[in-house]
Amino acid sequence: MYNEFVQFVRTIYNSSDFIPLHAPYFAGNEKKYLEECIDTTFVSSVGEFVDRFEEITKSYTGSTKAVVCVNGTNALHMAMELVGVKRDDEILTQALTFIATANAISYIPAHPVFLDVDKDTMGLSPVAVENWLKENAEIRHGETFNKKTGRRIKACIPMHTFGFPVHLDELVAVCEKYHIELIEDAAESLGSFYRGRHTGTFGKVGVLSYNGNKTITTGGGGMLLFQDEKLGTYAKHLTTQAKVPHRWEFVHDHIGYNYRMPNINAALGCAQMENLGMILENKRKTAQMYKEYFRDNESIKFFEEPKTSKSNYWLNVVLLSDKNAQTAFLEYTNDHNVMTRPIWELMNRLEMFRNCQTDDLTNTKWFADRVVNIPSGVRV
């Protein structure tokens, strides 16, 4: 049965070699722009590709401002600083995420609280957030505090898992009700839309990543998305050592960061953005083929985008019937040179986060035992 799947993947990827889960795809102006950087010597922290990459991303996502970062993890760190997260605050997020979300919270250092995801999105559940707040939180003078720990609950960071948008309207509403800042970890969801609007533009700050395995890559890189222009301008200042602009003086007015993406990476980003439409179409077609393939399968279900959303189908997902079936599927496919993998180990099960607060994580655990990612790169 799994053999048939392996053959199917080989057919759609037209390959008898190793098939990776995802791979960068360079088919446009990447080389040309990189050569431009080298020829002009603008490879580092100055250069026109940075501005251009921010402009393109701003207009593609419908943001008011976009600010580059050296990677998605420190873009998340910046996002928290920018909305005023302070030492010892609590941050509501999901256990079902890549480690970067929880790591960035720890840099403040703040405390992650791991709450359950929805069955139809695999992302943070607004109902779980509201239920947890009802039981654990109290509002005092326009701020929300945890009744048990006494700590302030300052922000909420949902993650659009594998590109599937969470229920944003409901999440925005519950965050507003409790005066909690919403930051979207949209690292996996460039090209994903919720009710027609790009993910990462609903919260106060949205974060994108251009790591090598993401939908498009800059080698390494991240982006901050803003609706508030002033906050975006301040983000630029903070990520560039908080230097006061002057022709020759070096004066800084804040503890800043050197988080600006080099021009050479932004050059790759500009070229990649030119092909984003094609890449997304190709990925959507792949998802469609998998969907057809698994349509009548009783024991393996293909995970589809939620009704309110358009997913970028960054990584395709199948759900096996239980943990044993998941292991058997992973073993067979990886033994046969078709790369597949389970979802990340849940954050609350890792040594560093073992003592963090959680809710019952019912859906989270259900997914952990069933999810397998299957090859999702661009078919050439």
Ligand X SMILES: *Cc1c(COP(=O)(O)O)cnc(C)c1O
Q: What residue ranges in the chain does DSSP mark as E strands?
A: 65-69, 90-94, 111-115, 137-140, 143-146, 153-157, 181-185, 193-194, 197-198, 205-209, 222-226, 301-302, 309-310, 316-319, 341-342, 371-374
Q: Which is nearer to ligand X, 126 or 222 (CB)?
A: 222
Supply the DSSP symbol for 114. Answer: E
CB of 101 to ligand X, least distance (A): 5
317: tokens are 């997902």
Count of chain residues binding ligand X (CB under 6 A): 14
Question: Prior bond to 109 cis, omega within 30?
Answer: yes
Q: For the window 55-74, what string marks contact with ligand X as x by the rule CB under 6 A?
A: ----------------xxx-
Q: Which is nearer to ligand X, 73 or 201 (CB)?
A: 73
Instruction: List the interface residues with ligand X, window 72-111 (CB under 6 A).
Output: 72-73, 97-98, 100-101
Active site annotation includes 119: no
The distance from CA 98 to its chain's CA centroid, rounded to whole angstroms, is 8
- Which of these is catalytic: 58, 154, 204, 214? 214
Q: For the window 259-298, what string marks contact with ligand X as x by the rule CB under 6 A?
A: ----------------------------------------
CB closest to ligand X, residue no? 72
Q: In what order do the strands lie in the sheet with 301-302?
A: 301-302, 316-319, 371-374, 341-342
CB of 57 to ligand X, least distance (A): 14
95: tokens are 């256990």
Instruction: List the interface residues with ligand X, window 175-194 (CB under 6 A).
Output: 185, 187-188
Phi and psi torsions of 93, nearest 5° = -150, -170
Supply the DSSP symbol for 358. Answer: B
Q: Which is nearer to ligand X, 63 or 73 (CB)?
A: 73
How far apart are alpha carbons 225 and 80 in whole angstroms? 13
Q: Provide the greatest CA pair distance for the chain.
A: 69
Instruction: List the interface residues with ligand X, window 189-248 (CB under 6 A).
Output: 209, 211, 222
Q: Which is nearer to ligand X, 161 or 363 (CB)?
A: 161
CB of 159 to ligand X, least distance (A): 5
CB of 314 to ligand X, least distance (A): 9
Binding site for ligand X (CB under 6 A): 71-73, 97-98, 100-101, 159, 185, 187-188, 209, 211, 222
The residues carrying an active-site annotation are 214
